[in-house]
Amino acid sequence: MLSGKRLLLIIGGGIAAYKVLELIRRLRDRGVDVRCVLTEAGAQFVTPLAVAALSENKVYQALFSLTDESEMGHIRLSREADVVLVAPATANLMAKMAAGIADDLATTALLATDKPVLIAPSMNLFMWQHAATQANLATLKARGITVIGPAAGNLACGEVGSGRLVDVPDLISALEEAFLANTPLPSLVGKRAIVTSGPTHEPIDPVRYIANRSSGKQGHAIAGALAAAGMRVTLISGPTQEPTPAGVKLQAVESAQQMLNAVEAALPADLFIGAAAVADWRMASAVDQKLKKGDGGPPALHLTENPDILKTVAHHAKRPALVVGFAAETENLLEHATAKRLRKGCDWILANDVSPSTGTFGGDYTSLSLVTAAGIAPWPHATKAEAARRLTHAIATYFSTLRDA
């Protein structure tokens, strides 16, 4: 996923710069082209030689270097990357960025770039908490700069608190997200998808129903990402507040039975994604009149099982080539998801931790793992829109390998 991506890494002057050497090494292992700008202060903590050796590239230090300007000026340096990362981002670098000061190569490149910029702050706790730094942080965030960390813990200065550079794996996850967001979606033109989304409402009587907390955010985001990649998408959704994504054909339903009917009517398709939180049960028999309060006490609700839409599609005569389900679990997530993939007969399961503490239900963020026959791939914590893009990439890769096979 990272192979061939180009990173401009600006190394600021902080003790945590040593961690960046490890970052460069890990990124090179994964095929990232790393170009480094070492600030004057940064060079007090790590040597240009170490940075050049690990990045296998020339290290850029001086703004007014004749050879650099002829070979690779600061404008090109800042534009030829896919993403720019400042790590460690010192209070001084953040202040200069916020003010638009360009008095060395690093700050000039940051002002000249047209690429996404990430900063990983690292500094003393009081410097981090200072109103000036916090105001600069707010300015940078408002300009769309992604801030990674800082983490809390023991600081090199001997104090304890927020100010540590995040660990290398966290820097890599954040970079993966940034590279992905900046990669054009692969084309899935000509293929058809059916996506279910939202909750279902199972009527108890004409005025009451059984529902769940699904917002439809994930299913709608997936439908939108697939349509953006050129697929013809039918989105079959229970009641939600989510706007219909551009280019998607929406079919609104209420109950599980209606959802199943709509899905079967929409087949055949190349891809089915069951992102709906389908109610497991419905009333055993329809109640035509509103249930009344009476002397007999509360009514007993006799329930019966709903059809399993995902399982039905996975075993259908018109089974799509790729059938994807979700497993929302609160415990033993991956174990349950792996078993569910086999039980349902689907190809992929997206395992989703929905413990209340995660805020996944109704929230904008999610932590998914992709469970396939080949194994389990944990995905970074990300917005549901980013997860939808990541899924679209995986789907496009899957169809392209089918085509090549």
Q: Is 78 exposed, middle or buried (0-12, 13-18, 19+ CB in 10 A)?
A: buried
Helix %, strand %, coil % of the chain (to 5): 35, 25, 40
Q: Which is nearer to ligand C5P, 42 or 274 (CB)?
A: 274
CB of 327 to ligand C5P, least distance (A): 6
CB of 343 to ligand C5P, least distance (A): 8
CB of 282 to ligand C5P, least distance (A): 10
CB of 337 to ligand C5P, least distance (A): 9
Q: Does residue 218 bind ligand C5P (CB under 6 A)?
A: no
Q: Does residue 171 bind ligand C5P (CB under 6 A)?
A: no
Q: Does residue 198 bind ligand C5P (CB under 6 A)?
A: no
Q: Which is nearer to ligand C5P, 310 or 333 (CB)?
A: 310
Q: Does residue 270 bind ligand C5P (CB under 6 A)?
A: no
List the one residue out of 154, 23, 158, 44 whose CA is nearest residue 87. Answer: 23
Geometric angle at alpha carbon 58, from 117 and 71, rounded to 5°? 90
- Contact pick of 326, 348, 361, 399 for ligand C5P (by CB under 6 A): 326
Q: Which of 99, 132, 135, 157 is the catalytic position?
A: 157
CB of 205 to ligand C5P, least distance (A): 22
Q: Does residue 338 bind ligand C5P (CB under 6 A)?
A: no
CB of 291 to ligand C5P, least distance (A): 25
Tell me the two tokens of residue 392. Answer: 């679209």
Size of the site for ligand C5P (CB under 6 A): 13
- Contact pick of 327, 370, 391, 394 for ligand C5P (by CB under 6 A): 327
Q: Does residue 276 bind ligand C5P (CB under 6 A)?
A: yes
Residue 386 · residue 392 · CB < 8 Å: no
Cα dist. 114→58, 84, 99, 158 in Å? Answer: 22, 10, 17, 38
Cα dist. 104→21, 69, 117 in Å? Answer: 22, 13, 17
- Contact pick of 36, 225, 310, 385 for ligand C5P (by CB under 6 A): 310
| Phi and psi, residue 133, nearest 5° | -65, -40
Q: Which is nearer to ligand C5P, 281 or 365 (CB)?
A: 281
Q: Which is nearer to ligand C5P, 33 or 308 (CB)?
A: 308
- Per-residue x/- mask for ligand C5P, residues 283 to 302, rule CB under 6 A? --------------------
- Contact pick of 84, 325, 384, 386 for ligand C5P (by CB under 6 A): 325
Q: Are strands 365-366 and 117-121 parallel, antiparallel or unpaired?
A: unpaired
Instruction: Give strand ranges (E) for 1-159.
Output: 6-11, 33-38, 59-60, 83-89, 117-121, 146-147, 151-154
Sequence-ordered list of residues with C-beta below 8 angstroms from that of 169, at least 6 positions apart, any chain: none
| Crossing angle of the two packed helices 168-181 and 17-29, in degrees rounded to 10 | 60
d(CA 282, CA 308): 12
Considering only the stretches 59-67, 227-235, 325-333, 384-392, report the one whose residues sit in contact with ligand C5P under the rule CB under 6 A: 325-333
CB of 217 to ligand C5P, least distance (A): 14
Q: Which is nearer to ligand C5P, 196 or 215 (CB)?
A: 196
- Contact pick of 107, 306, 352, 360 for ligand C5P (by CB under 6 A): 306
Q: Decide if 346 is catalytic.
A: no
Burial code (b: 16+ CB inside 10 Å, e: under 16) for 202-237 equals bebbeeebbbbebbbbbbbbbbbbbbbbbbbbbbbb
Q: Does residue 199 bind ligand C5P (CB under 6 A)?
A: no
CB of 279 to ligand C5P, least distance (A): 7
Q: Does residue 269 bind ligand C5P (CB under 6 A)?
A: no
Place of tokens 């007993």: 300
List the one residue out of 7, 9, 55, 10 whose CA is nearest residue 182. Answer: 7
Q: Does residue 314 bind ligand C5P (CB under 6 A)?
A: no
Q: Which is nearer to ligand C5P, 9 or 260 (CB)?
A: 260
Cα dist. 16→23, 46, 151, 175, 178 in Å? Answer: 11, 10, 12, 18, 22
Q: How many helical (H) and strand (E) elements, i.e. helices and strands, does the chain have?
A: 14, 22
Instruction: Give strand ranges (E) for 245-318.
Output: 248-252, 271-274, 281-283, 303-305
Kindly list the catalytic residues: 157
Binding site for ligand C5P (CB under 6 A): 196, 256, 274-276, 278, 306, 308-310, 325-327
